[in-house]
Structure formats: structure tokens, C-alpha cells
Amino acid sequence: MKVLCVAEKNSIAKAVSNILSGGQLRVNNSTYKYVKNYEFTFNGFPFANNGSCEVTMTSVAGHLTSIDFDGARYGWGKCNPAELFDAGVVNSKSKDQEQIAQNIRNEARDKDYLIIWTDCDREGEYIGWEIYEEARKSNSRLNDHTLYRAVFSHLERNHVLQAARNPNKLDKRAVQAVGTRMELDLRTGVSFTRLLTDTMAKKVQNAMGITQRQGSKNERLVISYGPCQFPTLGFVVDRFERIRNFKKEEFWNIQLTIRGEDQGDPTGITTVFQWERGHLFDRLAVLTFYEMCLELAGNKAKVVNVKSKATNKWRPLPLTTVELQKNCSRYLKMNAKQSLAAAEKLYQKGFISYPRTETDTFPQAMDLKSLVEKQAQSDGSAWSSYARDLLDESNPNRTNKYRFPRSGSHDDKAHPPIHPVIALGANANIDASERRVYEYVVRHFLACCSEDARGHTTTISLNWNNEIFNASGLVILERNWLDVYPWMKWENSKVMPKLDMNQEVTIFKAEMKSGFTSPPKPMTESELIMLMDANGIGTDATIAEHIEKIKARNYIKSDKVGKESYLNPTVLGVALVRGFETIGLEDSFSKPFQRREMEDDLKKICDGSLTKDVVIHDIIDKYKGYYHRTTQNKGALLQVYDRVKNSLS
């Protein structure tokens, strides 16, 4: 019995082949120089009834085909862009893709079974379908009954063997969902990109001082549209305009200060109490409160509440892709593209689990303690002693000990949260970025498996002529997970004075103070990732791509201020958002509502409540209306660009 296995990348094919073959394999070249064919025998496939199979394992390099329009009929300048909403689409292959496809066809000719080993997400299902379609071209015996897909999330030996022994079937609904997204993105993206470029490119080029040589396509400015790019841009522009339009306002409040020595407290602690009303923007009103309190209560106040309670700083939830990108940006100053690329390499090398996951809940049956043990045995790492202490049961008085992680509310049923698989040796073949991301993954995982930090808070309330003033203090009793997670700060605050209920206290100082409101800070990439995730813009795997795309299109730029980098829109970025607002399409273009609706529809395709044809027909009908309105208002887009350029220059 002969079996063809196909992975999404050559590195995965190589790792899986070494595990299934026990290292006894032959390596042959393929028709594409970066893909190898690995041959070996394996007797664990369930359809072989414990018999030995001759296996060839190979790979693709991402998608095997692309969808596009017929260039001869629908190329740029050869048709009205509006025709692209209904134009036929064709599958095409680049030269490299054709070489990889030829290898699939060659290797599939004499095979009895095909097993897909692509990444276990929607995109992986679609790539698996592309592989299946290509294999059938040379072997009609391959069908739904002989097609399987391995389900795996990392490259640990036992896990890979389990995946080989228990393969599933391809999820054809997920294939349809990805096909829907690809077709919608093609039709809407190309049509509006051509419309915007034809309308605005010449004016923008002149404004930017860009000249294009006659017949030179490479220097042509492209003003692209993408259904994820524009809402992403919208978030950055919205923050920019809130800052630019901000007008500071003066406010007033009241503060009380008491000294412990005035109350007979030998510690002599000085404590500031804040007004429960916060701050008010009416100076006369605050002054009235202040003078009435002074006149009727003088320098005396009464303790009306003393509350002491235990408080916890919860350990983090298990790590998702979005959280990884957000925190690497925030803590490690790595952008989303860099952190995800480093995580991908660590996965391919077998150090961490699959890094593209929405799941923040570990399966109860998963043996996480063994993963902690591997880190405890990693001599020389900065966290090995912490991992050993976590598992040490010989000291009954220790406060921190291993606990199964808490569960979040997301489970994509495809992959567990990101976690380390094996310990990192001192001589591991990884670069500096990969090492930093690996350390973050390990520390986050160990923090998940620890006890919550524990502290004690005390809150005291004073009544000064019926106006309430509060002060709080925190004392940390057990740091626990904070000891392995240096990026999270939770520190002792002011020590509170020893006061009793109904005690009269002497006010050392009562002040009426003023201040000014401050504008929001510019957008950080970490904040942008959170906004995109919360609003369904892109997937955990594509968020980084969308941010990089609008940078490459010169819609936003990154400005470094001190140690922090902020994202700000360019003139073109602001003009695009404002232009679509002017013609009444802000909810469809620069706001997340349209894309979120599409993502909801894709989920419904996956659960069988909608079909590809229905979703495409519904969304394309809407975009035809958007296109008509835009063509009727081209002049408005140009006028807005001029206004923005003049106002920001």
C-alpha cells in the first residue's frame, strides 16, 4: 500500500518524516529546488490495518494556486473596473507553484491514499483541497474515501505519531469559507484599487513630487483598497484626529492630607485622600463645596469606612496569536510581523506549538506538567529554577505551586494555546528574535501554570461636611507568577494609617487644586492589534499583514518617540478616510462593520447555515452600490485630498 503525505512547508515535511520513519528515510529532489521528497515505511495508518505502507512525504510552499481575472480580457485598462464584480475568475499558478504542482502530480500517480499535513486552520484546509485537486489530475483513484488529513499542533514525537494514527477528513465547509473570502477580496479589492488609482494617483504623485517615466509600470503609484486595510487605517486616523482636534479644559478638585502623628499614630504616615466626586469643570461649584466644608467642618473629618480585603492579581490566560503579537509589540518592541515570523520558525524547528490559534483554553486531558518539567530540566535558562520550584512538593510552606491554567472563553477546536514543546538548548540554531519570542512564550506558559499573586488592600473613607474622600493602599503578600513574568508590574503602594471607624481626624492640609485634561496618546501597534481583534478585522494570522500593507502603501508611518513607537497616518491616509466619510461610505470602508459582517458570514458557512453563493451574492450587491456612489463622487475625493494636504502641510 502506497501513501502520499503532503505538508504545508518543507521543514514540516522533514520533521514529520524523521519521526514517522524513526530516522530511516531516503531524500530525493523534487521538481522545485526548495521542496524535497522523503521516502520511508510506516505501519501506523489506521486504513492499513497495522500493515506496513510505503510512504512518500513532500510539501507545498503555501497556496498551490491563486485566483485572478483573465488578464487578456480584464487586465488593467482593458475593462471598466465595475465589470470585475461579475467577471469570471480563473485559477492560476506562478512558475514556482507549477513546479510544486508537477511534483504533487508525479508523486500521486501510483498512490493508494493521500494524507494532508497542512496547518490545521481554515487556510490549511483550503491548501489541502488544492493539493487534493492537483493529485487527482494524475490519479483518478484518489477520492473522498482515500483522502485524509492529519490533525496536529506541534512537532513533538508522540503527538505526531498520534496524528498519523488518527487522521480525520478535510473540512470542506472551511474550504468553502476560504474560497468565499478569497473571491470577495479579489473582486472588491481589484475593482476599488483600479477606481481609486485612476481617480487619485496622478494628483497624489504630483503632490508627492513623484514623476513617472513614460511606459514605466514599476513607478506607477497604486492607491490600493482592501476590506481589512481600510478599517485598520480608520482606527489610526480616528486616533490622530482626536488628538489634533483636542482642546484642553481646566478642571478643579479637592484633596485632603492627614498626618499620622496628628491622629496619635506613631508611624507618622502622611496620606492624601481624593475627592469621591473626582474633578469638576465648574470652578465656582468646587469653590462653593470647598468653602462650605471649611466653614462648617474646619479641619476635622470623620472616618466613615475602613475596609480591608484580600486581593489577587490573576495569572494570565493561555497564549493566543493575537496576545502574542500584542505583547511582543508592547514588551519586546517587536512589530507584529517580526514576532509572528519568529514564532513560525520556532514552530517549524519544533520548539513551540503551532502559533496561529484563537484558543485560550487548554484541554483538561493535556499533560502540561510534563512540559513544565522539560523547562525545569533546561540547565542554564533564566527560568529553570522557577520551573523546578513550581513542581517541588518537598516544601509544604511554599506559596507558589503548579496549577492547571485557567480557561478563557475562546476555543477554535483546531489548536491549543501557544506553549513550549521542548526546552531550548544553549546551542540551539535560532536567531536573537526567535530566542526573545521563545523566552516570552515560556515565561507566559509558566505564569499560566502558577498561582495567582496575592495581596491585601486597605481603603479608608473620610467624611468632611458630607463630602467623601478616599485613600487606598496595597501590600503584596505573595508574588507567585509575577516572579517569572517581569513585564507585569504589581507593587506595594502607600502604607495606610491606623484609623478606626467613627474616629475624628485632624486635617493637616485641605487644598482646592486645578489641572488640565490631556489628549490621548498616538496609536501604538499593540493598541491597533487589540482594536483589530476586538472588531473582527483580519484573523489572528493576517493582522500583521494588514498593518504592514498600509505601511507599505504609505497610508501610515511609524514614528519613534523615546523608547516607544507610534503609528500616525500620512496625508494620503487621512484623505482616504475623510474622502469616504464625505461621500457617506464611512460605515462600509473606514469602519469595521462591513468586514465584521463578512467574518460572521464565513463562520456561518463553516457551520452549514449559509452557502458560498449566498454570501458572495449578498456582499457583491452591496459593493456595487458603494462603487456607484464612489464613481458619482470622484470630484469630492480629490477635493478632500487637497483640503487635507493644505491643512496638514
The pLDDT of residue 365: 86
**pLDDT exceeds 50 at position 117:** yes
CATH code assigned to 176-245+522-648: 1.10.460.10
Vertex 43 angle, CA 39 and 49, to 5°: 135
pLDDT confidence bin for 260, thresholds 50/70/90: confident
pLDDT confidence bin for 560, thresholds 50/70/90: confident
**pLDDT exceeds 70 at position 156:** yes
Instruction: Dig out the grid coordinates for 609 from the structure.
Output: 447555515
Per mean pLDDT, which range of 12-16, 469-473, 491-495, 520-524 is the poorest?
Answer: 491-495
Q: Which single residue is written with the C-alpha cell 478569497?
A: 182
Q: What is the DSSP letter of 79?
A: S
d(C-alpha 295, C-alpha 280), whole Å: 21
pLDDT digits (tens, 9 = 90+) for 435-456: 999 999 999 999 999 999 999 9
- What's the whole-number average pLDDT of the chain? 93
The pLDDT of residue 213: 43
Per mean pLDDT, which range of 186-195, 490-499, 599-608 is the poorest?
Answer: 490-499
pLDDT confidence bin for 619, thresholds 50/70/90: very high
The pLDDT of residue 498: 87
Give, for 307, the enclosing helix (H) or strand (E). strand 300-313
d(C-alpha 605, C-alpha 585), whole Å: 27
Contact 269, 238 (CB under 8 A): no
d(C-alpha 336, C-alpha 328), whole Å: 7
Q: How many CA atoms are closer than 13 Å to the CA of 559, on its beta-carbon side?
A: 12
The pLDDT of residue 542: 86
End-to-end CA distance of the chain: 71
Q: What is the DSSP letter of 143?
A: -
d(C-alpha 508, C-alpha 271), whole Å: 10
- Helix %, strand %, coil % for the chain, to 5? 45, 20, 40
Give the residue from 101, 12, 6 showing the smallest Cα distance to 55: 6
Q: Which single residue is written with the C-alpha cell 460572521?
A: 600
Give the residue from 308, 17, 270 showing the smallest Cα distance to 164: 17
Instruction: Count CB neighbours of 609 within 10 A.
Output: 10
Q: Which single residue is written with the C-alpha cell 491548501?
A: 127
The pLDDT of residue 254: 98
Calculate mean pLDDT across residues 313-327: 96
Q: What is the DSSP letter of 76?
A: T
pLDDT confidence bin for 515, thresholds 50/70/90: very high
The domain segmentation of the chain, as residue ranges, is: 2-170, 176-245+522-648, 250-314+453-516, 321-448
Parallel/antiparallel/unpaired status of strands 2-7 and 509-516: unpaired
Instruction: Dig out the grid coordinates for 454 from the structure.
Output: 496575592
For CA atoms 505, 511, 517, 518, the dihedral sign is negative
d(C-alpha 60, C-alpha 126), whole Å: 13
d(C-alpha 395, C-alpha 376), whole Å: 17
Whether pTM exceeds 0.85: yes
Instruction: Dig out the grid coordinates for 614 from the structure.
Output: 449566498
The pLDDT of residue 351: 94
**pLDDT exceeds 70 at position 386:** yes
Contact 9, 80 (CB under 8 A): no
Instruction: Dig out the grid coordinates for 74 from the structure.
Output: 480584464
d(C-alpha 150, C-alpha 160), whole Å: 9
d(C-alpha 604, C-alpha 606), whole Å: 5
Per mean pLDDT, which range of 261-275, 360-374, 559-573, 626-640 is the poorest?
Answer: 261-275
Contact 432, 236 (CB under 8 A): no
Q: How far is CA 246 from CA 44, 179, 363, 476, 516, in A?
A: 66, 44, 48, 39, 12
Q: How many CA atoms are closer than 13 Å to the CA of 241, on its beta-carbon side?
A: 14
Give the residue from 120, 119, 132, 109 showing the smallest Cα distance to 56: 109
The pLDDT of residue 214: 41
Q: What are phi and psi of 350, to 5 degrees?
A: 90, 10
**pLDDT exceeds 60 at position 54:** yes
Instruction: Dig out the grid coordinates for 534 from the structure.
Output: 476586538
Q: What is the dihedral of CA 243, 244, 247, 253, to 10 degrees?
A: 20
Give the residue from 591, 543, 555, 596 showing the smallest Cα distance to 196: 555
Domain 250-314+453-516 belongs in CATH node 2.60.40.2220: no
Domains 250-314+453-516 and 321-448 share a fold: no
Which residues make Cβ contacts (< 8 Å) with residue 22, sequence separation at least 6? none
Positions annotated as catalytic residues are 354
Calculate mean pLDDT across residues 478-494: 93
- Domain 321-448: which CATH class? mainly alpha
d(C-alpha 131, C-alpha 60), whole Å: 8
Calculate mean pLDDT across residues 32-39: 96
Q: How far is CA 416 from CA 175, 336, 533, 620, in A?
A: 21, 20, 18, 35
pLDDT confidence bin for 297, thresholds 50/70/90: very high
Cα 460 → chain centroid? 41
pLDDT confidence bin for 215, thresholds 50/70/90: very low
Calculate mean pLDDT across residues 360-379: 91
Instruction: Count CB neighbours of 501 within 10 A.
Output: 10
Give, for 505, the enclosing helix (H) or strand (E). strand 504-506
The pLDDT of residue 264: 73
Identify residue 637 by its one-letter amino acid code.
Answer: L
Strands of the 509-516 sheet, one edge to the other: 504-506, 300-313, 453-464, 467-478, 270-275, 250-259, 509-516
Q: What percent of the chain has pLDDT over 70?
A: 98
The pLDDT of residue 219: 65
The angle that helices 122-136 and 172-208 make with each other, rounded to 10 degrees, is: 110
**pLDDT exceeds 60 at position 217:** no
Calculate mean pLDDT across residues 540-563: 90
Calculate mean pLDDT across residues 40-69: 94
pLDDT confidence bin for 210, thresholds 50/70/90: low
- Domain 2-170: which CATH class? alpha beta
The pLDDT of residue 212: 47
The angle that helices 571-582 and 229-244 make with each other, rounded to 10 degrees, is: 100
Q: Which single residue is written with the C-alpha cell 503602594?
A: 493
Calculate mean pLDDT across residues 307-326: 96
Instruction: Dig out the grid coordinates for 381 from the structure.
Output: 535558562
Calculate mean pLDDT across residues 320-346: 94
Q: What is the dihedral of CA 36, 41, 42, 43, to 10 degrees?
A: 160
Q: Look at the chain and count its residues.
A: 649
Quote the longest CA-to-CA distance of the chain. Answer: 99
Cα 525 → chain centroid? 10
